[in-house]
Amino acid sequence: MAVLTQTEIAEKLRGEDLNHWLELWHAEQGPAKRSSLELMAAVVPASKEKDVRVLDICCGPGDAGRALGSRFPTASMDFVDRDPFFASLCAAVNQRDGFAGRTLVRDLSSPNWSQDLASSYDVVVAANGLHWFTIQEVTELFTEVIELLRSRGCFLFMEPTRPEFPFQSGFATWQHTQPGQHRHEDWIHFWSSVNAFLGYDHMPLDARPPEGRIGDTLSALDWVGLLKTAGFEAIDILLRDTEKVVVAGLKP
Ligand SMILES: C[S@@+](CC[C@H](N)C(=O)[O-])C[C@H]1O[C@@H](n2cnc3c(N)ncnc32)[C@H](O)[C@@H]1O
- Phi/psi of residue 163, each to 5°? -70, 165
Distance between CA 112 and CA 137 in Å, rounded? 13
CA-nearest residue for atom 27, ligand 1, is: 60
* pLDDT tens-digit profile, the chain (252 residues): 789 999 999 999 998 999 999 999 999 999 999 999 999 999 999 999 999 999 999 999 999 999 999 999 999 999 999 999 999 999 999 999 999 889 999 999 999 999 999 889 999 999 999 999 999 999 999 999 999 999 999 999 999 999 999 999 999 999 999 988 899 999 999 999 999 999 999 999 998 888 899 999 999 999 999 999 999 999 999 999 999 999 999 999
DSSP letter for each residue of 107-142: -TTSTTTTTTS-S-EEEEEEES-GGGS-HHHHHHHH
How far apart are the CA of 96 and the centre of ligand 1, in A?
22
Query: What residue ranges line ligand 1, CB within 6 angstroms?
Result: 29, 58-61, 63-64, 81-83, 86, 107-109, 127-129, 132
pLDDT of residue 180: 86
Alpha-carbon dihedral sign for residues 110, 111, 115, 120: positive
pLDDT of residue 208: 85
Name the helix (H) or strand (E) containing 54: strand 53-57
pLDDT of residue 45: 96
pLDDT of residue 207: 85
Kind of pairing between the strands at 233-240 and 244-250: antiparallel
Ligand 1 site-directed mutation target among 39, 57, 58, 181, most atoms within 8 Å of CB = 58
Q: Taking the domains of the chain in order of start, what are their residue ranges? A: 6-250
Distance between CA 11 and CA 14 in Å, rounded? 5
pLDDT of residue 245: 98
How far apart are the CA of 74 and the centre of ligand 1, in A?
25
How far apart are the CA of 221 and the centre of ligand 1, in A?
22
Q: Does the predicted TM-score (pTM) go above 0.95?
A: yes
Name the helix (H) or strand (E) containing 158: strand 149-160
153 Cβ partners below 8 Å, 6+ apart? 120, 121, 122, 123, 124, 250, 251
Decide: residue 9, CB within 10 A, 0-12 exposed, 13-18 middle, 19+ buried: buried
CA-nearest residue for atom 7, ligand 1, is: 60
Distance between CA 81 and CA 98 in Å, rounded? 20
- Fold of domain 6-250: Rossmann fold (3.40.50)
What's the half-sphere exposure (Cβ side, CA atoms, 13 Å) at 49?
0
Identity of the amino acid at 57: I
How far apart are the CA of 17 and the centre of ligand 1, in A?
22
Least Cα distance to 64 among 85, 38, 95, 46 occurs for 38
How far apart are the CA of 51 and the centre of ligand 1, in A?
26
How far apart are the CA of 81 and the centre of ligand 1, in A?
6
CB 42 within 8 A of CB 28: no
